[in-house]
Amino acid sequence: MAEPQERGLIAGMRPWDEMIDARGGVRPGRERLVAALDDLGPEGLRARARLRDAHLSAQGITFTLSGRERPLPMDLVPRIVDAAEWQVIEAGVAQRIRALEMFLDDVYGAGEILRDHVIPRRLVTSSAHFHREAHGVRPANGVRIHVAGVDLVRDDEGTFRVLEDNLRCPSGVSYVLENRRTLSHVVPELFTGYRLRGVEEYPARLLGALLAAAPAGVAEPTVVVLTPGVHNSAHFEHAFLARRMGVELVEGRDLFCRDGVVRMRTTRGSEPVHVIYRRIDDDYLDPVHFRPDSVLGVPGILNAARAGAVTIANGVGNGVADDKAVYPYVPTIVRYYLGEEPVLPNVQTYDLRDPDVRAHVLPRLDGMVVKPVDGSGGYGIVVGSRASDEELAAAATAIEADPRQWIAQPIVALSTSPTLVDGGELAPRHLDLRPFAVNDGQRVWVLPGGLTRVALVEGSLVVNSSQGGGSKDTWVLDTGDDEPLPPLEPELVIDDPGPTFSAAQLRAAGEGRARVDQPLVHTERMRQQEEQQQQSGLGDAPC
């Protein structure tokens, strides 16, 4: 098969490889991993890949694409993030979320940033996700972004840059947890000698943030996860999160509003619901305010939220802050609200509403990525270096027709990492990283690692699972700065077992760990019987 020809800017660019440096040496901290992969060899890796596939299918760790359930391909080679690199990412993601929280609070409130002309008012009001309905909704603990997924890419110099913010229903965190378990299950050898930051605490952190967001005055808030239903592509994740938080997974039809309170139907009558972690888009959430034809939502839920009877997480109208046309302004937003320089830089982005910018960009589309501002899942993206002339011309026409709907970015040569390809060989494939942040109103906590998505198609820069992307377990190395745990103390057996049993019985049990087994005398006798049965049966020859 002929290679798609690279053209434009990317042709001369050499992507950053996360494991191998420019001179072909193994980067520090990756040596043991490379050695462990070598030991397995192509044959071993192929065998483990089969085990992995069987495991993923059996566990039902899937996403649904075009109505078909399929396992999210998980690469056997983990991606390693050094502790120092992680500190930057963690700080940068948390900073961004803090600033975007303030931005949302502002645009759905006083609107100071607009009055100060830092962000053009038209840009905000023209966003498809700016919902006037959300104006004046005051979240209980001030949080609108309970969960965020911030997509990062690594450029050819190894710098992590933010590609986009996902502040509505970022998905993929279930695969982070499942990938770790699957990898340690299928290739435990790789973990030898590595000390990793754990990922298991995510559900507890999320539940903590949701409980913290409950309406004031509720002693024991009821939290639910609201899913569009089993046909949604992320249904596995919705069920996973509900399970791991120990809360109900509900569909819209399980809920109803009465007297401004959201309630769920149960076998014991209806029960009030206080926090809804919804994985339904704004458009479908409430037919009273949004799409009147929505059968997934709950009529009246937004009014209940406005009245402060229920918390909707993430907040309604968050999409205005992750609109791709607002994205170029995020560094400005960070400086405006926090008075800090952004820790993580953006990718350069052209605002195509400006005719001069269009004049600069349109002739150079072959070196650009063109994205619709409100798209997700990789749909509608045109990667200039891999597009045909006709596709580029179509993109140019679409931009001229409605420039607000598009942004253009110079192509970033996404970093690569060795990835298992057919035949058991390892080959470089492009990746991104989606760290997940949880905001409980006190602090923004970032799950160590996040979802690494990998473009399994050679040379492809599109990592979305809907476009043939896979994932990798993401290891954040633990520096071990925290105190090492004390060694195991021998456990004390309690001396006073109480008066219920006789002294002899207590002595027998007091050892504690003595096993109760079938008496040996008995088996000894059986052995005798066995012998005798054999002897006595000698004359009883099989015929």
Partner 1 sequence: MLSRIAEAMFWIGRYVERAEATTRLLVEHHQLLVEDTRLDPTVGAEAMLGPLGLMPGGPGQPGHPEAEAPEEPVTPAALVRLVVGDTADPSTILGSVGAARENARTIREALPGDMFERMNATHLRLQAGISTVIPGIPLRGLLDELAVVTGIIEWQMPRDEGLVFVRLGSALERLDMTCRLLDIDHDGLWPQAGAATTLRAAGGLNPFLRTQRGLSGDQVEGFLVLDPTFPRSMLQCATRAERAVRQMATYVSPQRTSTLLRTVGILRAELEFASVDATPADLALLRERTREAAFVASDAVAAAFFRQAGTIVWSH
Task: Count the residues of the shown chain that bind partner 1, applying the rule CB under 8 A.
Answer: 59
Beta strands 255-258; 261-266: pairing state: antiparallel
CB of 523 to partner 1, least distance (A): 8
Task: Return the amino acid letter for 244.
Answer: R
> What's the number of CA atoms in the CB half-sphere (13 Å) around residue 511?
7
CB of 374 to partner 1, least distance (A): 36
Edge-to-edge strands, sheet with 269-272: 255-258, 261-266, 269-272
- If the CB atoms of residues 183 and 320 are measured against partner 1, the closer one turns out to be 183
Structure tokens at 499: 């008066």
Segment lying near partner 1 (by CB under 8 A), choices 144-152, 278-286, 406-414, 516-524: 516-524
Residues 427-456 that bind partner 1 (CB under 8 A): none
- If the CB atoms of residues 3 and 511 are measured against partner 1, the closer one turns out to be 511
CB of 246 to partner 1, least distance (A): 3
> In angstroms, rounded to a whole number, what is the distance separating the alpha carbons of residues 326 and 148?
16
Structure tokens at 339: 């008075």
* Residue 484 sits in the site that holds partner 1 (CB under 8 A): yes
Q: Which DSSP letter does residue 428 get?
A: E
Q: Which DSSP letter does residue 169 get?
A: -
Least Cα distance to 169 among 279, 251, 271 occurs for: 279
CB of 529 to partner 1, least distance (A): 10
Instruction: Pick from 498, 537, 539, 542 the residue near partner 1 by CB under 8 A.
Output: 498
Residues 207-266 that bind partner 1 (CB under 8 A): 207, 211, 243-247
x-or-dash string of contact with partner 1, 168-187, rule CB under 8 A: ------------xx--xxxx
> In angstroms, rounded to a whole number, what is the distance separating the alpha carbons of residues 475 and 414?
19
* Residue 516 sits in the site that holds partner 1 (CB under 8 A): yes
> In angstroms, rounded to a whole number, what is the distance separating the alpha carbons of residues 507 and 509?
5
> In angstroms, rounded to a whole number, what is the distance separating the alpha carbons of residues 470 and 175?
10
- If the CB atoms of residues 185 and 265 are measured against partner 1, the closer one turns out to be 185
* Residue 511 sits in the site that holds partner 1 (CB under 8 A): yes
- If the CB atoms of residues 123 and 247 are measured against partner 1, the closer one turns out to be 247
Beta strands 425-434; 436-439: pairing state: unpaired
Instruction: Pick from 513, 537, 540, 543 the residue near partner 1 by CB under 8 A.
Output: 513
Segment lying near partner 1 (by CB under 8 A), choices 102-110, 127-135, 200-208, 316-324: 200-208
- If the CB atoms of residues 192 and 348 are measured against partner 1, the closer one turns out to be 192
CB 172 within 8 A of CB 434: yes
CB 474 within 8 A of CB 452: yes
Instruction: Pick from 11, 204, 295, 393 the residue near partner 1 by CB under 8 A.
Output: 204
The answer for residues whose C-beta is within 8 angstroms of residue 443's C-beta and 6 or more apart is: 94
DSSP line for 16-28: PBSSB-TTSPBPT
- If the CB atoms of residues 397 and 518 are measured against partner 1, the closer one turns out to be 518
- Length of the chain equals 543
Segment lying near partner 1 (by CB under 8 A), choices 51-59, 76-84, 355-363, 380-388: 51-59
* Residue 355 sits in the site that holds partner 1 (CB under 8 A): no
x-or-dash string of contact with partner 1, 67-106, rule CB under 8 A: ----------------------------------------
Instruction: Pick from 501, 527, 532, 536 the residue near partner 1 by CB under 8 A.
Output: 501
Element (H, E) at 278: strand 275-278
Q: Which conformational region is residue 435 in: left (phi greater than 0), alpha (psi within -120 to 50 degrees), or beta?
A: beta
Give the three-state DSSP class for 452: strand
Binding region for partner 1 (CB under 8 A): 48, 51, 54-55, 180-181, 184-189, 191, 193-196, 198, 200-201, 203-204, 207, 211, 243-247, 478, 480, 484-485, 487-488, 491, 493-494, 497-498, 500-501, 505-506, 508-509, 511-519, 521-522, 525-526
